[in-house]
């Protein structure tokens, strides 16, 4: 199995290491998401409720770059933030998967 530049093999499993570049991109994504949430007039608690999350702390983790919006919930996030799901997902790819974004859509940002 070929590993990405931010992965290493530990035992039999590939373990992802968050490289400084990856952390910086996630923080940028978090800043972008926070701005969209603020524009939508939502608090972290409000957004968590719209997403059916029990705790708002996951929103905080995403906005601070410690986590990312799971692919399977991107549509729900987009709708909660009053954004078009395809554009929302495309924009997050710039931060979460910049090489994939470049391959699919050309230059990023």
The domain spans of the chain are 19-105
Distance separating the N- and C-terminal Cα atoms of the chain: 30
Burial degree of 65 (CB within 10 A; 0-12, 13-18, 19+): buried
Structural domain 19-105, CATH architecture: Orthogonal Bundle (1.10)
This prediction's pTM: 0.80
Q: Output the tens digit of pLDDT for each of the chain's 109 residues.
A: 444 444 443 333 333 456 889 999 999 999 999 999 999 999 999 999 999 999 999 999 999 999 999 999 999 999 999 999 999 999 999 999 999 999 999 975 5
Report the distance separating Cα 17 and Cα 53, nearest Å.
27
């Amino acid at each position: 199995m070929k590993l990405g530049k931010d992965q290493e093999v530990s035992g039999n499993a590939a373990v992802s290491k968050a490289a400084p570049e990856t952390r910086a991109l996630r923080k940028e994504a978090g800043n972008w998401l926070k701005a969209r949430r603020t524009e939508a007039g939502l608090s972290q608690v409000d957004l968590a409720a719209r997403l059916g999350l029990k705790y708002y702390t996951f929103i905080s983790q995403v906005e601070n770059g410690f986590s990312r919006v799971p692919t399977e919930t991107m549509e729900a996030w987009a709708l909660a933030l009053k954004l078009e799901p395809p554009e929302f997902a495309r924009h997050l790819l710039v931060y979460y998967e910049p090489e994939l974004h470049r391959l699919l859509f050309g230059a990023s940002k």
